[in-house]
Amino acid sequence: MKRRRRAAHTLRGRLMALLLVPLLTVLGLSVVADYRTALGLANATYDRALQGSAIALSSRLEGDADDAPLELDLPPAAEAILRTDPEDTVYYAVVEASGRLIAGDRSLAQATSLRPAPGTAQFEDVRMDGRPLRVVGLTHASVNAGFQATVLVAETTRKRDHATAAILKAVIWPNLLLLTTTLVLVYFGVRLGLRPLDALGEQIDQRGSEDFSPVPEGAVPGEARPLVAAMNRLLGRLEAAGRAQQAFLSNAAHQLRTPLAG
């Protein structure tokens, strides 16, 4: 226990502890910043693909508000391609401005209330049947025919979750390697930087009990020079006190020898 306490109170231990906290803080901030940046780029890529599907669906809308109801011209082969995804389940719905479901999944139309302005796309995270979905809404309006409908395309978030896990691993491991390398370099740098203090301690430890000569300050680091100067002043006072004590003992011995000789 004593050895552990001494090691904890060494200058090396204090320097390492003081450096470890900022390094861990920087690591945490770096991981969060890198993770958010990479995740934002990945989500933006998936969102663009989702929006592309919505634009493709809106281009298949046909109808005339005066003569016939609005319909979605989507062949079964095209719908199969739209719904084909190796990881996620894809849903779509086309809803007229009056609320009538033109085509697609009614549950999706009921799960979201996205009704963006014409020509704009909006994204939303919803849950449907207990599963999280990423939804894009795109309102298509025809000036000539006079109809307006909202196209909704959604997908589950499995590939986004996999991308999130992969990004997190890719971000954490390089930062941990960087932190470990930095700590090793700092550790050996601290040991190398404090080596003159070790040499100074060995030099003082090898002195004899009657050696009160000043410690040379030439090779002492600037931070330790006040300590060495104070030590030299203490050695000077100890040497003066030793000489005074020796003179007092010599005088006392002389005073004692005179009566004894008489």
Which tokens hold the place of 260?
């004894």
Angstrom CA distances, 100 to 97, 109, 139, 146, 179, stand at: 7, 10, 14, 16, 58
The predicted model scores a pTM of 0.63
Angstrom CA distances, 166 to 31, 75, 178, 243, stand at: 13, 37, 19, 77
Q: 30, 4, 8, 17: which is closest to 186 by C-alpha?
A: 17
Give the chain's mean pLDDT: 79
Name the pairing type of β-strands 101-104 and 121-128.
Answer: unpaired
77: number of Cβ within 10 Å: 8
d(CA 227, CA 225): 5
Angstrom CA distances, 56 to 51, 72, 74, stand at: 9, 11, 10
The pLDDT profile of the chain, 262 residues, written as one tens digit per residue, is: 444 444 446 777 777 878 888 888 888 888 888 888 888 888 899 999 999 999 988 888 876 555 556 788 888 888 888 888 888 899 999 988 888 888 889 999 888 888 888 878 899 999 998 889 999 999 887 655 567 888 999 999 899 888 888 888 888 888 888 888 888 888 888 788 777 777 777 777 777 766 666 666 666 666 666 777 777 777 777 767 777 777 777 777 767 766 666 5
HEC sequence for 55-73: HHHHCCEEEECCCEEEEEC
